Amino acid sequence: GGPALGAPAPTATPTPVGTAGTAVPTNGGTVADYQVGPPRRPDIHHDNGFLQNPNDPNDPNPIPTESPGLGDYAALAEWEVKLRGARALQGVPGVPHNDIPDGLDTYDHFLHGNGADRHFDYERFVRTDPAGQAVLTNSTRDTQQAAEAAYNQMVAQDPSLAGKPVTFQVTGSQIGVGSSEQFPYPETENWQKAIGGHSVWNSATVTVYPPETPGGKPRFEMDMTLHAEDRYNFNPGQADINTGTPDAANGRLERTGLGQQYTNYGTLQRHVTWDQGSPENATSRPIGGR
């Protein structure tokens, strides 16, 4: 009735460990702050562009719009023509701004989406913009370090956990993308127009297996989700990086409700495996076969 000779030993079911809400002591070794527990969206503040309360830059509520005039409708018609013309030029060799499909999609939603949330493909950002790859690499490493810190804390509190497979969840705080070397601003015109500076946060389910040989290192397996979000609007005093067009040209559409700000959301998932103490040698693959 026993297992056949030479058959691999059955793998024990990992034991759930950790108390939700427990802070993970990374001692400044991570960019984000982490806690044990299921995914928990951080309190991410988005500005309201040309609808921001002039007396309170932190007011989350946009000020009321005003009625558009004939000049505003004429401006809207002009921007509609520009949008259609730009779409016609996509992929045409030698013409400027011929590779901005995502930027055009986000602007189209500004004009026609009625302010509804929009979901975009963060995998595509990672695949087509060097900044996207840097964000994924560095946010993954950040979460790996948090996973190791959480495990070390649990084992310190209960040394018996070191000899058994365990599983737990971690969730992180907001990381700003666009103002640091680790998390740089998009390099391509397409993604500068589509999302520009934005916020990400990571959550993960972590499973740790004890060493298979004496003196070995525990093996970590992590199913990580990167969550991204960005408020699409225009801001007083700013201008388009590539054309120099002032944001005020579209800000007037915001003020009159002919264009409406909205929030972009994107996610990606990775299965990451590494040995304790060597997060830089991890293997990573998309979850879901993408």
- Give every CB contact of residue 181 below 8 A, 6+ residues apart in sequence: none
Q: What is the pLDDT at residue 6?
A: 54
3-class DSSP state for residue 34?
strand
Structural element, H or E, at residue 267: strand 262-275
pLDDT averages per 10-residue partition of the chain, 290 residues: 51 90 95 98 96 95 97 98 98 97 98 98 98 98 98 96 96 96 98 98 98 91 98 96 95 98 98 97 86
Residue of 201, 242, 220, 288 lying closest to 100 (CA atoms): 242
Residue 26 C-alpha from the chain's centroid? 21
Q: How far apart are CA 149 and CA 279, in angstroms?
A: 12
Stretch (H or E) spanning 103: helix 101-112
What pLDDT was estimated at residue 198?
A: 98
DSSP state of 95: S
For the entire predicted model, the pTM comes to: 0.93
User: How much is the pLDDT for 214?
Assistant: 84
Q: What pLDDT shows up at residue 4?
A: 52
b/e for 27-63, b at 16 or more Cβ within 10 A? Answer: eeebbbebbbbeeeeeebeebbbbbbeeeeeeeeebe
CB atoms within 10 A of CB 1: 2
Q: How buried is 206 (Cβ within 10 angstroms: 0-12 exposed, 13-18 middle, 19+ buried)?
A: buried
| 120-to-25, 124, 132, 264 alpha-carbon distances in Å | 33, 9, 13, 7
Q: What is the DSSP code (8-state) at residue 266?
A: E
CA distance 94 to 215: 60
